[in-house]
Amino acid sequence: MSNGNIEFLGRIDQQVKIRGFRIELGEIESRLSNYPSIKEAVVIAREDESGEKYLCAYIAVDTETGVSELREYLTKDLPDYMIPSYFVPLEKIPLTPNGKLDRKALPGPKVEASLQYAAPRDKVEEKLVAIWADMLRIDKSVIGIDDNFFVLGGHSLRATLMIGRIHKELDVKFPLLEVFKTPNIRSMAKYIKGAVKEEFISLEPLEQKEYYPVSSQQKRLFILQQRYLNLTAYSRPNLFLSPVELDKEKLQVTFRELIQRHESLRTSFDMINGEPVQRIHTQASFAIEYYDGAFTQETIANFVRPFDLSQAPLFRVRIMKPGNGKNILLVDIHHIISDGVSDAILISDFMALFEGKQLPALKFQYKDFSQWQARLLESGEMKKQEKYWLETFTGEMPQLAIPRDYPDSLEQRFEGSGIYVELDDKTTGFLKELAMREGTTLFMILFAVYNVLLAKLGGQEDIVVGTGVAGRRHVDFENVIGMFVNTLALRNYPAAEKTFKDFLFEVNQRTLLAFENQDYVFEDLVEKVVTKSDPGRNPIFDTVFVMQNMASESETAAAGNTAQPELLLKRQEFDAKISIFDISVFCEEIGGKLGIKVSYSTGVFKQETIEKYFGYYKDILAYVIENKELIFKLKDIRLASGLKVIESKLIKNETGDFGF
Model pLDDT for residues 103-144, shown as the tens digit of each residue: 788 887 764 433 457 889 999 999 999 999 888 877 787 788
When pLDDT is averaged across residues 559-576 and rounded to a whole number, the result is 54
DSSP output for 115-146:
-S-----SHHHHHHHHHHHHHHTS-GGG--TT
- CA-CA distance, 106 to 41, in Å (whole number)? 12
When pLDDT is averaged across residues 67-95 and rounded to a whole number, the result is 79
109 and 127 share a domain?
no
Q: Identify whether 399 is part of a domain.
A: no
456 and 595 share a domain?
yes
Find the CATH number of the domain harbouring 58. Answer: 3.30.300.30
Mean confidence (pLDDT) of the chain: 83
Residues in the chain: 660
Model pLDDT for residues 509-553, shown as the tens digit of each residue: 999 999 989 999 898 898 899 877 776 678 899 999 998 765 444
Q: Looking at per-residue confidence, does 412 or 251 come out higher? A: 251
pLDDT, position 611: 95
Q: Is the pLDDT score of 564 beyond 70? A: no
- CA-CA distance, 373 to 150, in Å (whole number)? 29
Name the least confident of 78-92, 124-138, 346-360, 443-457. 78-92
71 and 153 share a domain?
no
624 and 498 share a domain?
yes
Q: Say how many C-beta atoms besides its own lie within 10 A of residue 317's C-beta.
A: 19
Q: Identify whether 562 is part of a domain.
A: yes
Side-chain-side CA neighbours of 350 within 13 Å: the count stands at 24
Burial 121-151 (b: 16+ CB within 10 A, else e): eeebbbbbbebbbebbeeeeeebbbbbebbb
Q: Identify whether 391 is part of a domain.
A: no
When pLDDT is averaged across residues 270-274 and rounded to a whole number, the result is 94
Supply the range of the domain harboring residue 142.
123-194
When pLDDT is averaged across residues 419-424 and rounded to a whole number, the result is 90
Sign of CA dihedral 218, 223, 229, 233: negative
Q: How many domains is the chain built from?
A: 4
- CA-CA distance, 141 to 202, in Å (whole number)? 29
155 and 134 share a domain?
yes
- CA-CA distance, 573 to 417, in Å (whole number)? 12
240 and 175 share a domain?
no
Find the CATH number of the domain harbouring 161. Answer: 1.10.1200.10
pLDDT, position 52: 62
78 and 154 share a domain?
no
Q: Identify whether 386 is part of a domain.
A: no
Q: Is the pLDDT score of 557 beyond 60? A: no
Are residues 41 and 61 in contact, defined by beta-carbon separation less than 8 angstroms?
Answer: no
447 and 514 share a domain?
yes
- CA-CA distance, 589 to 582, in Å (whole number)? 24
334 and 455 share a domain?
no
Confidence bin at 334 (pLDDT 50/70/90): very high
DSSP output for 502-536:
HHHHHHHHHHHHHHHTTTS-HHHHHHHH--S--TT
Q: Is the pLDDT score of 8 beyond 50? A: no
Q: At which of 333, 354, 375 does a domain end?
A: 354
Strands (E), 48-159: 53-61, 86-90
Q: Is the pLDDT score of 458 beyond 80? A: yes
Q: Looking at per-residue confidence, does 366 or 97 come out higher? A: 366
Are residues 117 and 47 in contact, defined by beta-carbon separation less than 8 angstroms?
Answer: no
467 and 593 share a domain?
yes
Q: Is the pLDDT score of 72 beyond 80? A: no
Q: Identify whether 246 is part of a domain.
A: yes
Q: Identify whether 316 is part of a domain.
A: yes
Confidence bin at 1 (pLDDT 50/70/90): very low
Q: At which of 143, 164, 194 does a domain end?
A: 194
Residue closest to 260 by CA, chosen among 149, 135, 350, 388: 350
Name, in order, each residue with C-beta under 8 angstroms of 119's C-beta and a sequence gap of 6 or more: 144, 145
Find the CATH number of the domain harbouring 571. Answer: 3.30.559.30
Q: Report in angstroms the alpha-carbon separations of 582 from 134, 306, 338, 497, 653.
A: 38, 22, 23, 28, 19
277 and 218 share a domain?
yes
Confidence bin at 655 (pLDDT 50/70/90): very low
pLDDT, position 550: 52
- CA-CA distance, 340 to 335, in Å (whole number)? 9
pLDDT, position 67: 66
Sign of CA dihedral 227, 417, 584, 342: positive
Q: Looking at per-residue confidence, does 564 or 257 come out higher? A: 257
pLDDT, position 48: 63
Alpha-carbon Rg for the chain in angstroms:
27
Q: Identify whether 396 is part of a domain.
A: no
pLDDT, position 567: 58
pLDDT, position 455: 96
Q: Is the pLDDT score of 648 beyond 50? A: no
Q: Looking at per-residue confidence, does 380 or 605 come out higher? A: 605
Q: Is the pLDDT score of 2 beyond 50? A: no
Q: Is the pLDDT score of 381 beyond 90? A: no
> What is the phi-psi region of residue 470: left when phi exceeds 0, alpha when psi lies from -120 to 50, beta otherwise?
alpha
Q: Is the pLDDT score of 50 beyond 60? A: no
Query: Per mean pLDDT, which of 69-73, 279-283, 376-380 is the most reliable?
Result: 279-283
Model pLDDT for residues 185-199, shown as the tens digit of each residue: 999 999 999 999 988
85 and 154 share a domain?
no
Q: At which of 194, 226, 251 does a domain end?
A: 194
Q: Looking at per-residue confidence, does 26 or 336 come out higher? A: 336
The end-to-end CA distance of the chain, in Å, is 56
Look up residue 110 and give its DSSP letter. Answer: P
Helix (H, G, I), strand (E, B) or coil at 466: strand
- CA-CA distance, 483 to 264, in Å (whole number)? 9
pLDDT, position 268: 97
Confidence bin at 309 (pLDDT 50/70/90): very high
Q: Is the pLDDT score of 46 beyond 90? A: no
Name, in order, each residue with C-beta under 8 angstroms of 462's C-beta and a sequence gap of 6 or more: 398, 491, 493
What whole-number percentage of the chain has pLDDT above 90? 40
- CA-CA distance, 278 to 574, in Å (whole number)? 32
When pLDDT is averaged across residues 319-332 and rounded to a whole number, the result is 81
Confidence bin at 51 (pLDDT 50/70/90): low
Q: Identify whether 77 is part of a domain.
A: yes
